[in-house]
Structure 1
Amino acid sequence: MAKSYRNGKGSLSSVILGLVIVLLFLGLVSLSAWQRRAIPTFDEERRQTRLKNLADLYADNDKVLNHYHWIDRQKGIVGIPIERAKQMIIADLEANKPHPAELINPPVPPPAPNSSPAPVANPSASPSPASGVPPANPAPGAAAPPAPIVNPQSAPAPALNPAPPASNGSPAATPASNPGE
């Protein structure tokens, strides 16, 4: 078996070359970091402007929300601190006790079950033009029956939920007739 010998010059030169490359890389990184710190960027200037504007906004908000101030001196409008405004609103709401709301359109009461039919018009009275019924022309000598006047407000409203028809011929059960259910 043949023994192989390595020349020490080749390995020493590759180590030195590697160290030089690493040192150059570290030198470039440190140089770029130093230059970046030394030169203020446009973003840094904008950041400082934004921070100043934000501090001014916080100061204005604090002045408006936490101190008494004039809103319009000529009209006599004054701004009060928000905590005081909250106390005033709470006191106002506690003074107004809750009450039930009124119905906007109260329901129309249903007609009585034994009510008389619609009133019949008087034959001697002249029909109103709003009734929509043309006057009858009776034949001479014949008495015509009087026509009923239709009043849409006196007619009962149809049921919203009519009871279903009974299948066995018995009357349908209603909640009023079966109170136990």
Structure 2
Amino acid sequence: MRPDNEQDTVAETEVATGYTFTRANQGVPHHPRSQRAAEDPDFQPHPAVVRGLKLFGESGSGGAAAQTLLSQPNLHVSYVWFKSGFPLPLHSHDTDCYYLIVAGSMKVGTEFLGKGDGVLIPAGAPYTVNPGEDGVEFLEMRTSPDYDTHYRSKSDVYWDRIAEMQRAGGERWATEKQPYGLIPL
């Protein structure tokens, strides 16, 4: 049996190696970033985007959850669960993003992805994710914790449809279970 001070030395040695450990129960809520340009006094987002994001927020959600697991200068990792049919609006980011599917399925563009599949979405590429009938759980990895989001649709009809999909999913989402539950959200 080791004296207590020896255990402390071992712990310090492990920390000194540069390892960073994450624990499922220590993730923090993932908060979407606002557009960098929004801080500029001359910034004028498209009126349909402003209206659409307001509708999106008011339509109720419960269709998505995310936790940031690791956020360092060169690596950002989040765990995400989109419930079945969750309408992620068309958007892009200013940094590359890689999604690795843990459970369930989703469609990105014309491709259907299932457990173990992944997709690299390059910076600036507009995309949306359409979760399958069981929803989708995935790890989201970026090379930066600071990324900009640009919502792309400038159509009121598009945003009305997104808000309606959110309202319609509310009752179903209230009882929907994660397909795998790697990290309970």
TM-score interval (norm. to shorter): under 0.3
Q: Which has the higher strand share?
A: 2
Compare relative contact order (CA 8 Å, sep 6+) and give the higher one, 1 or 2.
2
Larger radius of gyration: 1
TM-score (norm 1): 0.17
TM-score (norm 2): 0.16
